[in-house]
Amino acid sequence: MKILVAQSGGPTAVINASLSGVVKRAKMLKHEIIGGLYGIEGILESRLVNLKMQNEEMRLLEKTPGSYLGSCRYNLPEPPNQIYDSFFDVINANKIDAFLYIGGNDSMDSVAKISMEAKRRKLPLLAGGIPKTIDNDLVKTDHCPGFPSAAKFLNVVASEFVIDSNAYSKVSICVMEIMGRDSGWLTASIKLSEEIVNGLNVITYIPEKAVTETQILDEVSTKKGMLLVAVSEGIKNTDGKYFSSIEIKDAFGHPKLGGAGEKVANIIEKIGKVKFVNPSFLQRSASHIVSEVDVKEAVMVGMDAVNALEKGKNAFFVSIERNDGNVYSSKTKIISIEGIGNKIKTVPADFDDLMLKAYVRPLIGKMPKYARRKI
């Protein structure tokens, strides 16, 4: 079998671990593995490379940030469309038997469209989607590779930011902006930094819950001592409008966001001293502080995607299921790609702090613990 694999969307610290899993398993099963450079966009231009990688290179790849094959944000139109002529010309010219796409919501939508069009054209191409997103917003999976490492990085740097900012006698209210357009999983995970710094209070503002300036001021003013306010870039007001966005949309029609955290910081300055930070792209590229669980699972979904192809599976998605038991473990489940793309898994309204911490803690793994004077 000749397998084409590509990466799409915003990278994560472990997206290349999934690629390593694909290559590793394909080699074990004696399949030929081809890489598509720059996602669908590059494939349409026939930018393909043979992935004859050695074991040492695959080992390094597992903890290399960014997209090794390059990425894109390319919105495939609904089929049938002439763009699919170009896509399948490349597939046929290179005698590709199967296609795997590592990505998030829009990438899974692309897999579904390609599968649909291949079926309409009566072509034997197998296609599958491998999850990747720090936003943790893909449906029908317990969590997404990339999220645990981003959550671990953010909890550690948030704790360090708070400690550094409160080195002076006057207390500072710390505000951090976190990625997350429509789901607040990553921002909500910052509650775990309360377990790193004794006495730290964390307030989180997420897209799932509308917020007002008055509410922010009231909530912040009631907190005493060391305080961190974690703000999702996608928070909305009670009118359903983003707190901060520029009047530009990306290739998928999503508003480009930015500045929500700084806006909240400016609001809070009315009642106290504020320090603000936006880790920006560092939260998805910090390979020096990855979750070991995340790396392991990212490799696992890559390998099991190839296993699914070996069994003749088509139009599938590799889901992660959490096993029962006191010690965390997981497994994959191959499910239909239908209903995955362009769906958003949001933080449930009844997910309290204890439930959130119990959900995230085993994914992150061991975190540091910092000393703090009581007086």
What one-letter code names the amino acid at 355? Answer: M
What pLDDT, on the 0 to 100 scale, is given for residue 248?
46
Q: State the Cα–Cα distance between residues 359 and 371, nearest whole angstrom.
A: 26
C-alpha 139 chain-centroid distance: 12
Token duo for residue 240 = 């359903």
Q: State the Cα–Cα distance between residues 77 and 372, nearest whole angstrom.
A: 55
Give Cβ neighbours of residue 343 (< 8 Å, ≥ 6 apart): 105, 138, 139
What one-letter code names the amino acid at 146? Answer: G
Kind and range of the H or E run holding 85: helix 83-93
Place of tokens 């999983």: 185
The strand pairing partners of 175, in sequence order, are: 229, 276
Catalytic status, residue 85: no
φ, ψ of residue 292 to 5 degrees: the values are: -65, -35
Angle between helices 353-364 and 292-310 (to 10 degrees): 80
What pLDDT, on the 0 to 100 scale, is given for residue 15?
97
Q: Which domains does the chain have, with CATH numbers?
A: 2-145+289-336 (3.40.50.450), 150-287+348-364 (3.40.50.460)
Q: State the Cα–Cα distance between residues 319 and 343, nearest whole angstrom.
A: 14
The model's pTM is 0.94
pLDDT digit of tens for each residue in the chain (375 aa)? Answer: 999 999 999 999 999 999 999 999 999 999 999 999 999 999 999 999 999 888 888 889 998 999 999 999 998 999 989 999 999 999 999 999 999 999 999 999 999 999 999 999 999 999 999 999 999 999 999 999 999 999 999 999 999 999 999 988 888 999 999 998 899 999 999 999 999 999 999 999 999 999 999 999 999 999 988 999 999 999 999 988 888 755 445 555 556 566 899 999 999 999 999 999 999 999 999 999 999 999 999 999 999 999 999 999 999 999 999 999 999 999 999 999 999 998 999 999 999 999 999 999 999 999 998 888 776
Q: State the Cα–Cα distance between residues 47 and 21, nearest whole angstrom.
A: 22
What pLDDT, on the 0 to 100 scale, is given for residue 251?
53
C-alpha distances (whole Å) from 229 to each of 115, 152, 158, 205, 232 are: 43, 17, 10, 8, 10
Token duo for residue 183 = 């789901």
Using DSSP, how many helices (H) and how many strands (E) does the chain show? 12, 13
What pLDDT, on the 0 to 100 scale, is given for residue 354?
94
What pLDDT, on the 0 to 100 scale, is given for residue 247?
45
What pLDDT, on the 0 to 100 scale, is given for residue 290?
95
Contact of 90 with 44, CB cutoff 8 Å: yes
Give Cβ neighbours of residue 79 (< 8 Å, ≥ 6 apart): 113, 116, 117, 120
Catalytic entry in 135, 137, 294, 304: 135
